[in-house]
Amino acid sequence: MAWKWKYSHKEEMEDTSSRHPGLTGLQNLENTCYMNAVLQCLCSLPQLVEYFLSGRWNTALRTEIGESATAFGCLMSDMWLGDFDYVSPEAFHSVFGKQYPTFSRRTQHDAQEFLICVLDELHEAFKESSRHRAGAEARGSGSGTSIITQLFEGQLSYGITCLKCNTITDRPESFTVLSLPIPSRRVCSLQECLDCFFQPDTLTRNNQIHCYWCGTNQDATVKATITRAPQIIIFHLKRFAWQDKHRRKLSTTVDYPLQNLDLSPYSSTFSYNEVYSLCAVVNHAGDIDYGHYTAFCKHSTTKHWYSFDDVQVTKISDSAVQTDTAYLLFYTCQGY
């Protein structure tokens, strides 16, 4: 299938033109800033960029279900040509909307929900069939491996302790995005958000667990730990919360490090691969009904940070990356 794209030829503009590959804006198709921000972040990740630009994706593609992945690959290629101020994601939006009709409507959507759907769609398009997955069972995945699981999938273990007999059972769970609660205060740190997520929780009353050894429902504690850290870890800051039957946005400023994020306190085994550097951010400004999404991405070649606001691309300082509008944080492992 031949894809048709709309381009704007590069003009001479200070700090905003596509002087380098990977600095290409995306046209807003009417309320699609959520999509543009997520696509900019994904298309800035060095490991994913190399996978697509090298052509490896063509070999892995399951063509019968790979229409969205093909459109994504074509869009990635055009964004890294460096020949245009911006391109239109209309072809990707169209084919992706056929698979996920919710996103076909040009209304505001949640960037985190869109991100999860994109990762799921790419995984399905590139995952290896079971007959090609020697050792997959030992890995613990029943849904196949792909470039998405290789880069983004981590694993948690929930240790559940019965408070009557003290028996501990472990429940593994894979993840691609960690949704972190935000403490109720004006300013907090990402570390405090992580502390909230990984702190032990007590299950009582209607939340009791059924203890196999006791044979009845019992109070219990549950605590999560990271048993396998991914190459790229994505944090979703839970800014949208329910209060008195109304959904509201938390405006808490979350301080997050640009480098040396250490996840070893939350891991069952420490390794060097659990120290991370920030590589991309999805921001959400405004309120729930009238918000706008933008992205900050670190260029893999120049190592400079850039702001992507639909078609507008602007170089920014490292200090400007820290904002009170951060919604999704992409960290890449310093060991890779």
Q: Which residues are part of the catalytic machinery?
A: 33, 292
Pairwise CA distance, residues 16 & 27, whole Å: 15
Pairwise CA distance, residues 315 & 313, whole Å: 7
Pairwise CA distance, residues 149 & 258, whole Å: 24
Q: What are phi and psi of 110, to 5 degrees?
A: -80, 130
State both tokens at 50. Answer: 């190399």
Smallest CA-to-CA distance from 121 within 49, 71, 79, 180 is with 71
Pairwise CA distance, residues 271 & 289, whole Å: 42
Pairwise CA distance, residues 25 & 314, whole Å: 10
Q: The tokens 């502390």 sit on which residue?
A: 195
State both tokens at 333. Answer: 């492992």
Cβ contact 162:213 at 8 Å: yes
State both tokens at 18. Answer: 């596509």
CB-neighbour burial class of residue 94 (10 A; exposed 0-12, middle 13-18, buried 19+): middle
Pairwise CA distance, residues 320 & 107, whole Å: 29
How are beta strands 275-285 and 292-298 bridged, if at all? antiparallel
